[in-house]
Structure 1
Amino acid sequence: MHLILFDIDGTLINSSRAGRAAMGRALHEVFGVAGAVHTYSFAGKTDRRIVHDLMTAEGWTPAAVEARLPHFYERMAAAGQDLFTPERIRPCPGVLPLLDALGRRDDVVMALLTGNIRHTVPLKLAAAGIDPARFRVGAYGSDSIERDDLFGLAVARAHETLNRRFQARDVIVIGDTPADIRCARAGGGRAIAVATGPFAPDALSDCRPDHLFLDLAQTEAVLLALLTPATQPG
């Protein structure tokens, strides 16, 4: 059984900076300032990390930032209700056919590993025409400030929800940043990189993913990469 952990932004969807706009609005409402939200690099980071970085740079203490996160998450979800629309958010190439193909298999569990907070995930996916219910479990940017922590959380939640243990070699992270590849490696899983986000293929290749695709449109090739058993050390 394969546990496939999908990143969202740049992997499943292109959000046309709608997430950045929602975060900026929520930061203003909760902290009174958005800091460098328009120039800060979001790629590969959890939303929790982004908020901490932006607000501590504005003089807020980490403890004060952490205390306001629940309110911030509520306001960001409210902003998402306005900003996450099909006009702004679209699926990346090949995503819908790939999810359909995986959904027909009984040897695959689809899940999420994303820097997005749990509150905004269904809003973004639905805007792109992706049913959030396709994903049985997830680990989110509201769970930890560090992306690498999310691998273990996702695997643990899959075990708890499905009453099935997954070996690390059967867990695959699909993402568009070097941080996704590092996260997979930190958990002992496999990494499939896709160049539909901000990183060029060469930059992703330098991080040595197990497989690299320009996009997910080659459904059969992506399925083969996902479902071929990992090479055993020998």
Structure 2
Amino acid sequence: MTDSANGAHPMLVLFDIDGTLVHSAGVGRAAITSAMIAVYGTPGPIDELPFDGMTDPQIVRTLLRAAGLDDDEIRAGLDRLWVEYAARLGDEIADRRARMRPAPGVPELLDALEETGATLGLVTGNIEAGAEGKLSAVGLWRRFPFGAFGCDDADRNALPPIALERAFRHTGRRYASRRAWVVGDTPHDIACAQASQLPVLAVATGRFSVDDLRRAGADEALSSLRDTGRVMSLFACA
């Protein structure tokens, strides 16, 4: 079924997680640091690397290459690393859950989108276990029936097509390009949407300002998702 086939204009909205949906109190960085020490003996120069917009596999490879490990050494430990990371992430979430929260306006926006019949999904650099842990901690995981994750591909630009295919499997519908939005908070989110010719709404709830996000090419950029009506109007005008 396509948009034109049924005469309707359904919307698909694909959300980033960290800085966009959730402020996660540093649980991911803490968990990956301890997991890398356990598996590789070093987290590399982790304090010097901004994670914003990077996939989890990209983060790990960047840090370990900087620490002098070759790709074969890195590959040999990856399966164990993700098991360790998931376990340690659970511990970090348990310790910091009270400081984790949805980003401003997120629950209200998700409610409004669902009321219009929109389909919600994820495009995130988190591996799936990390996405589930962070979103479950703030009561949002069940809002997203599918997504594309860092464990699907280390290249973030490869993730929107995966999400679109999973949206089709979930709904039986192919979404027209102007009806499938990406929402994120970094230039990497913008670039990945542009690589698939999808419109992108960027929000300055992470490390980047509205001006930064506009310069990076966002179709729309807002300070936050707090104004539900304004966000919904932007989507409706596409």
Instruction: Tell me the TM-score range normalised by the shorter chain.
Output: over 0.9
1:24 counterpart (30, 33, 42): 33
Q: 1 or 2, which has the higher helix percentage? A: 2
Change (3 A) 1:72 1:88: farther
Q: Return the alpha-carbon distance in structure 2 between the equivalents of residues 46 and 77 of structure 1.
A: 15
Q: In structure 1, how many angstroms separate the alpha carbons of the residues matched to 2:224 and 2:72?
A: 40
Q: Which runs of 4+ in 1 moved over 3 A?
A: none
Of 38, 41, 52, 1:43 maps to 52
CA distance in 2, matches of 1:109, 1:206: 29
CA contact (8 A) 1:4 1:109 kept: yes
Aligned residue for 2:61? 52
Q: How does 1:57-96 map to 2 (within 5 A)?
A: 57-84=66-93, 85-96=96-107
Q: 1-side partners of 2:165 and 2:72: how far apart?
A: 28
SS at structure 1 position matched to 2:48: coil
In structure 1, C-alpha distance between the alignment counterparts of 2:204 and 2:35, rounded to whole Å: 29
1:117 counterpart residue number: 127
Give the residue type in structure 1 aligned to 2:35.
A
Post-superposition offset of 1:70: 2.0
**Displacement after TM superposition at 1:68 (Å):** 2.2
What amino acid sits opposite 1:89 in the alignment?
M
Alpha-carbon shift at residue 120 of structure 1 (Å): 1.2
State the shift of 1:152 in Å.
0.8
Determine if the alignment matches structure 1 residue 100 to structure 2 residue 144: no
Q: CA deviation at 1:154?
A: 0.7
Task: Specify which of 143, 147, 154 is matched with residue 156 of structure 2.
Answer: 147
So what's the TM-score if we normalise by structure 1? 0.93
Distance in 1, matches of 2:179 and 2:76, equals 37
SS of corresponding position for 1:24: helix
Tell me which residue corresponds to 2:6. Answer: none
Partner deviation per Cα, 1:148-178 (whole Å, 9 max, x = no partner): 0001111111112322212222210000001
2:230 corresponds to: 221
* Aligned counterpart, 2:174: 165
How many angstroms apart in 1 are the aligned matches of 2:181 and 2:110?
A: 15
The Cα shift of 1:122 comes to 1.3
Partner of 1:12 in structure 2? Answer: 21
Q: Does the 8 Å contact 1:2/1:227 carry over to 2?
A: no
- 1:211 maps to a residue whose letter is E
SS, match of residue 142 in structure 1:
coil
Is the contact made by 1:18 and 1:88 (CA closer than 8 Å) also made in structure 2?
no
Structure 1 residues 64-110: Cα deviation after superposition (integer angstroms, max 9, x where no partner): 3233222211111101111124223111111111111112222x110
Query: Which secondary structure state, in structure 2, belongs to the residue aligned with residue 173 of structure 1?
Result: strand
Alpha-carbon distance between aligned partners in 2 of 1:32 and 1:125, rounded to the nearest angstrom:
29
2:205 is the counterpart of 1:199 = no
User: For residues 163-207 of structure 1, what are the alpha-carbon distances to aligned partners after superposition, in whole Å with 9 as ceiling and x for unaligned?
Assistant: 221222221000000111111110010000000000111111111
Query: Does 2:139 align with 1:129?
Result: yes
Q: Is the 8 A contact 1:6 1:111 kept in 2?
A: yes
Deviation at 1:16, TM superposition (A): 2.1
Distance 1:69 1:118 in 2: 15
TM-score normalized with structure 2 length: 0.91
Tell me which moved more, 203-212 or 2-11. 203-212
- The residue that corresponds to 2:7 in the other structure is none
Instruction: Find the aligned partners of 1:82 and 1:105 in 2 and give their Cα distance.
Output: 37
